[in-house]
Amino acid sequence: MFTTLKICIVSDSHDHSGLLAAAVKAAAAQGAQAVIHCGDVIGANTLRALQCIGLPVHVVHGNNVGDVMAMMRLAAEPGSVVRYHGNDAQLEIAGRRIFAIHYPHIAQGMAATGEWDLVCCGHSHQALIARIRNVKGGETLLVNPGTVAGLSAPPTYALGDLATLEFSIEQVPRD
């Protein structure tokens, strides 16, 4: 039995801290208790807007890495909600095994291993929720939340429940 816990998945914020914060606030209002950011944050200060929301934020970098040392310093600050994982994150949240990376082709390969309950990615700026057949004869959920910054696509994030592995793509509210 898995613990009910909603999570917010974002990606490709590209220094758009206002849209990122709006997505996380909206997800928190819907019950999200944790955030996974699948890369292309660019500037560590983009994540500062999330500190006051208070949800733990697991971050991987992407192809637009920005200042890695600044990201590490932000994560090391006392009381920081940011957990910086580097290239990829191997997480266990609410009893679910979760793999997060920026690149969809690697995410598809990791989903195919059957080692993960949920695999998250970004990079394409195209939102996607798919079930990938894996080598163990089952399916692994793959979620790409699109671009929270709204670059070449509407600004979106994913919201889901880890108990049921049901996810939806949500529009970022604009004030």
Tokens linked to 65: 């890495």
CATH code: domain of residue 135: 3.60.21.10
111-138 confidence digits (pLDDT tens): 999 999 999 999 999 999 999 999 999 9
Domains held by the chain: number: 1
Residue 173 included in any domain: no
Are the C-beta atoms of residues 58 and 100 closer than 8 Å to each other?
A: yes
Is residue 1, in this structure, part of any structural domain at all?
no
Tell me, yes or no, whether 50 lies in a domain: yes
Is residue 57 in a domain? yes
Question: Token digits for 132?
Answer: 């990938």
Instruction: Tell me if 32 is assigned to some domain.
Output: yes
- DSSP E strands, 82-152: 82-86, 88-93, 96-101, 118-120, 128-133, 139-144
Banded model confidence at residue 3, pLDDT cuts 50, 70, 90: low
List pLDDT tens digits, range 74-111.
Answer: 999 999 999 999 999 999 999 999 999 999 999 999 99
Res 174: pLDDT: 84
As beta bridge partners, residue 141 has 118, 131
The residues with which 83 forms a beta bridge, in sequence order, are 58
Whether 160 is in a domain gets the answer yes
Tell me the residue range of the domain where 101 lies.
6-166
Residue 172 belongs to a domain: no
Is 81 inside any structural domain? yes
